[in-house]
Protein backbone atom coordinates (compact mmCIF):
# COMPACT_ATOMS: atom_id res chain seq x y z
CA UNK A 1 0.00 0.00 0.00
CA UNK A 2 1.38 3.39 -0.95
CA UNK A 3 1.60 6.39 1.34
CA UNK A 4 -1.25 8.05 -0.54
CA UNK A 5 -3.46 4.98 -0.11
CA UNK A 6 -2.70 4.79 3.62
CA UNK A 7 -3.40 8.51 4.00
CA UNK A 8 -6.73 8.14 2.16
CA UNK A 9 -7.65 5.15 4.33
CA UNK A 10 -6.80 7.05 7.52
CA UNK A 11 -8.85 10.05 6.37
CA UNK A 12 -11.81 7.74 5.70
CA UNK A 13 -11.60 6.23 9.18
CA UNK A 14 -11.38 9.71 10.71
CA UNK A 15 -14.43 10.93 8.78
CA UNK A 16 -16.36 7.81 9.82
CA UNK A 17 -15.48 8.58 13.45
CA UNK A 18 -16.74 12.15 13.12
CA UNK A 19 -20.03 10.88 11.66
CA UNK A 20 -20.35 8.44 14.56
CA UNK A 21 -19.86 11.29 17.07
CA UNK A 22 -22.63 13.29 15.38
CA UNK A 23 -25.11 10.40 15.19
CA UNK A 24 -24.60 8.45 18.42
CA UNK A 25 -24.75 9.34 22.09
CA UNK A 26 -21.45 9.37 23.98
CA UNK A 27 -20.73 6.38 26.21
CA UNK A 28 -22.56 6.78 29.51
CA UNK A 29 -19.44 5.97 31.50
CA UNK A 30 -17.18 8.71 30.14
CA UNK A 31 -16.41 11.39 32.73
CA UNK A 32 -16.54 14.53 30.55
CA UNK A 33 -19.36 15.04 28.07
CA UNK A 34 -18.74 16.62 24.67
CA UNK A 35 -18.78 20.40 25.07
CA UNK A 36 -17.45 20.28 28.64
CA UNK A 37 -14.81 22.84 29.49
CA UNK A 38 -11.68 21.36 31.04
CA UNK A 39 -8.25 22.45 32.21
CA UNK A 40 -5.25 20.40 31.13
CA UNK A 41 -2.81 19.59 33.94
CA UNK A 42 0.25 21.81 34.23
CA UNK A 43 2.56 18.79 34.05
CA UNK A 44 2.16 15.81 31.75
CA UNK A 45 4.09 12.56 31.42
CA UNK A 46 7.52 12.87 29.76
CA UNK A 47 6.13 10.85 26.82
CA UNK A 48 3.65 13.69 26.25
CA UNK A 49 6.23 16.50 26.31
CA UNK A 50 5.09 17.58 22.83
CA UNK A 51 1.49 18.09 24.09
CA UNK A 52 0.26 21.43 25.46
CA UNK A 53 -0.14 21.63 29.24
CA UNK A 54 -1.81 24.14 31.55
CA UNK A 55 -4.40 25.28 29.01
CA UNK A 56 -8.18 25.37 28.85
CA UNK A 57 -10.03 23.29 26.28
CA UNK A 58 -13.39 21.99 25.17
CA UNK A 59 -14.03 18.24 25.03
CA UNK A 60 -14.85 17.03 21.52
CA UNK A 61 -15.16 13.25 22.03
CA UNK A 62 -13.53 10.16 23.49
CA UNK A 63 -11.83 7.46 21.46
CA UNK A 64 -14.70 5.09 22.31
CA UNK A 65 -17.33 7.59 21.16
CA UNK A 66 -15.68 8.09 17.76
CA UNK A 67 -14.24 4.65 17.04
CA UNK A 68 -15.98 2.19 19.35
CA UNK A 69 -14.41 0.01 21.99
CA UNK A 70 -14.11 0.83 25.67
CA UNK A 71 -11.48 3.62 25.75
CA UNK A 72 -13.61 6.26 27.48
CA UNK A 73 -10.61 7.88 29.19
CA UNK A 74 -8.82 9.11 26.04
CA UNK A 75 -10.13 12.50 24.91
CA UNK A 76 -9.89 14.64 21.81
CA UNK A 77 -9.87 18.29 22.87
CA UNK A 78 -10.29 21.62 21.15
CA UNK A 79 -7.58 23.57 22.96
CA UNK A 80 -8.15 27.32 23.24
CA UNK A 81 -6.19 29.27 20.61
CA UNK A 82 -4.56 26.04 19.39
CA UNK A 83 -7.09 23.65 17.87
CA UNK A 84 -7.93 19.98 17.98
CA UNK A 85 -5.52 17.57 19.71
CA UNK A 86 -5.88 13.87 20.57
CA UNK A 87 -5.46 11.94 22.96
CA UNK A 88 -5.37 13.38 26.46
CA UNK A 89 -6.01 11.04 29.38
CA UNK A 90 -8.91 11.61 31.75
CA UNK A 91 -6.64 11.97 34.81
CA UNK A 92 -4.92 14.92 33.10
CA UNK A 93 -8.15 16.92 32.88
CA UNK A 94 -10.23 18.88 35.40
CA UNK A 95 -13.68 20.27 34.63
CA UNK A 96 -13.74 24.07 34.90
CA UNK A 97 -17.29 24.96 33.82
CA UNK A 98 -20.64 23.20 33.56
Q: Which H, E and C letters describe the chain, residue by residue? A: CCHHHHHHHHHHHHHHHHHHHHHCCCCCCCCCCCCCEEEECCCCCHHHCCCCCCCEEEEEEEHHHHHCCCCCCEEEEEECCCEEEEEEEHHHEEEEEC
- pLDDT (0 to 100) of residue 1: 87
pLDDT tens digits in sequence order for the chain, 98 residues long? 899 999 999 999 999 999 999 999 999 999 999 999 999 999 999 999 999 999 999 999 999 999 999 999 999 999 999 999 999 999 999 999 75
pLDDT at 89: 96
Domain ranges in the chain? Answer: 3-97
pLDDT score for 97: 73
The whole-model pTM stands at: 0.89
For domain 3-97, the question of CATH label 2.30.30.30 is answered with yes
Chain-centroid distance of CA 85 in Å reads 6
Amino acid sequence: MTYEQRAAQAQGIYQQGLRRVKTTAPPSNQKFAPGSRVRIADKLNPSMSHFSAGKNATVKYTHAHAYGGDSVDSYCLDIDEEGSVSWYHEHQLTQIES
